[in-house]
Structure 1
Amino acid sequence: MPEAPLPVAAAPPRTRRPGPPPLVVFGFCWLALMLAVALLADLISPYAYTALDLRNRLSPPIGFGGTWLHPLGTDELGRDVLARLIYSIRTSLLIAFGATIIGAVVGTTLGFLAAHFRGLVEQAVLALVDFSASLPFLILALSVLAFFGNSMVLLVCLLGLHAWERYARIARGLALSAGAQGYAAAVRQLGASPWRLYGRHVLPNIASTLIVSMTLAFPEIILLESGLSFLGLGVQPPETSLGSMVGYGREYLTRAPWILLAPAVTIVLTTLSVSLIGDWLRDRLDPTLR
């Protein structure tokens, strides 16, 4: 008699990964909106952000007695709050993106140098990391801007030095861990140069951790820029940013609160969105939490 075929084990059902929580979806949507506003600022702005309308000074927004001529109202010089908000979003995001990239590049490079050369180079980088972490960054930024003056390039470079030591520590630790693993040792034995080893093999394996660190540092830089601009040492007129709008609006808080509320709400929602996305990415990319 022919033998009965052996039963075939059914494949386990694939578990579908849950989608992002509603707050994270909101964060992605809000950031997409902010990026779209920043990229299309010249097309969607109803007025130039320096255009004056003295006959409509301190005009209230829609819903508080205002007209559609100025949907979010006007400031003390009759400048349209919506137009200034649009250009302020572009300026603040440009500063935040530029400073975040500078900090990540500087910190990651120094971390790789410390992991590769070890010895005196590693001690020097770690001493510089400890020295930078011990300095109150806001006081340092105020001193530098007050001494050297205000410029957009200096502001971006200065904010780029914020939290660079975080990237240096992460890059050094992960590079040392990768060096102890088989793939890095094999690539080194094959004669790969340090640039190829760290750029083509080590960096892609630690990129997820660095990206999460960047999403966590991004809202900090936005808040720092807003604080410096609020104190008058950040973005200078005629340029505008979210922090400078808040700084100008504080003098009219009782008479025209809409000047301050629009950029303040934008700062809160933007930093909250990036923080939510960063926490979600950290949980998503961490293999120990799967």
Structure 2
Amino acid sequence: MADITAANSVPATSAEKAAPRRRQRIPLLVWFGLVWIAIIIVVALAADWITPYRFTAYDLRNRLAGPFHPLHWLGTDELGRDVLSRLIVSIRISLLVAFGATIISAVLGTLMGFLAAHFRGLVEQFVLMLADFQAAMPFLILALSVLAFFGNALPLLIGLMGLYGWERYARIARGLAISAGAQGYAGAVRQIGASPTRIYLKHILPNIASTLIVSMTLTFPEVILLESGLSFLGLGVQPPMTSLGNMVGYGREYLTRAPWIMLAPASTIVLTTLAVSLVGDWLRDRLDPTLR
């Protein structure tokens, strides 16, 4: 009888050990997203060292050269500028705008959410009213108006993109901060004399950071697409500087004669947004306690 019990216990133990391994296994598509994001970040950081030519250098003898050219692997545009060099620099500029805007949006939204959760009353109603206005206002129209009136400087573009999506962080931070404030640990820290700043930054923020990080990964590709759309319309990054959207907008005039000018940055935009979205969905499944 003891032998039968021991025999039955072995498979159960093996299954219990195998179950966490299956749960911890990273899907193949997520691996693709992680690898692609790592490649893009390395390319952006090392852009000054890996570009074959200056992104503004002309090679008039090889105008509109096709891909796999001995001197230009991704071809050239109508001025003979190397598409690969311009693509590498464009990746750096687009990631700079996207990272900067996402961080600004997350910090601003979290701060507004904490203010609404702490003061409540009129302050909370004012923050929620601003969030409703932001959600109801088409951001592309607002961005076009601001850039057309104030110009197209890169710091202004990053700051303007930073206003995109802040209402999401504000709603998340407000709801989670109110929930955390109703729990015992926040009340205990408050009773021993901790300041509101310490309570929110040292105790509440670490507990809601995972949810905010997931929200950032989902907003990041939207910022890339928005910046690309503005640059495509001619109100984003301005020449001689280049970005992915700027390259797409520039290459549309040569779509029939030299499609590689537009296809290279367009493919990079699609793959980057897809990779970040895949990783963001995976992080949401792993970090969101309501989905476990």
Task: Indicate the TM-score class for this superposition, using the shorter chain for normalisation.
Answer: over 0.9
- 1:1-290 equivalences under 5 Å are 13-14=16-17, 15-16=20-21, 17-62=23-68, 67-290=69-292
Q: Residue by residue, what CA displacement relative to the aligned partner does 1:219-241 show, whole Å, maximum 9, x if unpaired? A: 00000000000000000011000
Amino acid at match of 2:24: P
**Higher share in helix:** 2
Amino acid at match of 2:257: R
Partner Cα distance (2:199, 2:181) in 1: 10
The alpha-carbon deviation at position 132 of structure 1 amounts to 1.0
* Alignment RMSD: 1.5
The alpha-carbon deviation at position 255 of structure 1 amounts to 0.1
Partner Cα distance (1:49, 1:254) in 2: 23
Which range moves more in the overlay, 7-16 or 269-278? Answer: 7-16
Amino acid at match of 1:167: Y
Amino acid at match of 1:103: S
TM-score normalised by length of structure 2: 0.93
SS in structure 2 at match of 1:143: helix
Q: 1:4 maps to what in 2?
A: none
Number of matched residues? 280
Structure 1 unmatched runs, 5+:
1-6
Partner Cα distance (1:78, 1:123) in 2: 57
Partner Cα distance (1:95, 1:78) in 2: 27
Amino acid at match of 1:157: G
The alpha-carbon deviation at position 18 of structure 1 amounts to 3.0
The alpha-carbon deviation at position 74 of structure 1 amounts to 0.1
Q: Residue by residue, what CA displacement relative to the aligned partner does 1:202-229 show, whole Å, maximum 9, x if unpaired? A: 0000000000000000000000000000
Amino acid at match of 1:37: V
* Dislocated runs of 4+, deviation >6 Å: 7-11
Q: Residue by residue, what CA displacement relative to the aligned partner does 1:127-169 show, whole Å, maximum 9, x if unpaired? A: 1111111100000000000000110000000001001000000
Partner Cα distance (2:54, 2:25) in 1: 41
Structure 2 unmatched runs, 5+:
none
The alpha-carbon deviation at position 68 of structure 1 amounts to 2.0
Amino acid at match of 1:24: V
